[in-house]
Amino acid sequence: DAGVIQSPRHEVTEMGQEVTLRCKPISGHDYLFWYRQTMMRGLELLIYFNNNVPIDDSGMPEDRFSAKMPNASFSTLKIQPSEPRDSAVYFCASSDTGEQFFGPGTRLTVL
């Protein structure tokens, strides 16, 4: 298996623009997680899905953030409009009943 795949690896955008991050989990994993990592706040869980259904989105910072999982092999995290404080590395991870496997992350810079 190729592991968890994320795209893009790097994204630079201007404040106010819409940003969409994409994730393909490991085949057969029924949990998918979105994390944000910053120097100040460390690794934060934003939202996670089980069998494509959002289970806990209490970590989503505000209404500008939204996440979807239309099928078992694809998820998106959207920020609209983006702000400089959203600059971070965003990780997607997937799991079955055990440990989580992480993607390589997307480094987002909002100017």
Partner 1 sequence: AQTVTQSQPEMSVQEAETVTLSCTYDTSESDYYLFWYKQPPSRQMILVIRQEAYKQQNATENRFSVNFQKAAKSFSLKISDSQLGDAAMYFCAYRRTYNNDMRFGAGTRLTVKP
Give the x/- contact pattern for partner 1 in 45-84, rule: CB under 8 A. Answer: x--x-x-----x----------------------------
How far apart are alpha carbons 72 and 65 in whole angstroms? Answer: 21
Residue 81 near residue 15, CB atoms below 8 Å: yes
Quick check: bond before 104 cis, omega within 30? no
Spatial CA neighbour of 78 closest among 5, 3, 23, 4: 23
Name the residue nearer to partner 1 (CB basis): 93 or 110: 93
Length of the chain: 111
Q: Which of residues 20, 78, 89, 109 is near partner 1 by CB under 8 A? A: 89
Least distance CB 12 / partner 1 (angstroms): 17
Q: Please name the amino acid found at residue 40.
A: M
90 is a site residue for partner 1 (CB under 8 A):
no
H or E, element range at 68: strand 65-71
Which residue of 43, 61, 83, 85 would you call a contact of partner 1, by CB under 8 A? 43
- Residue numbers of the site for partner 1 (CB under 8 A)? 31, 33, 42-43, 45, 48, 50, 56, 89, 91, 93, 95, 97-102, 104-105, 107
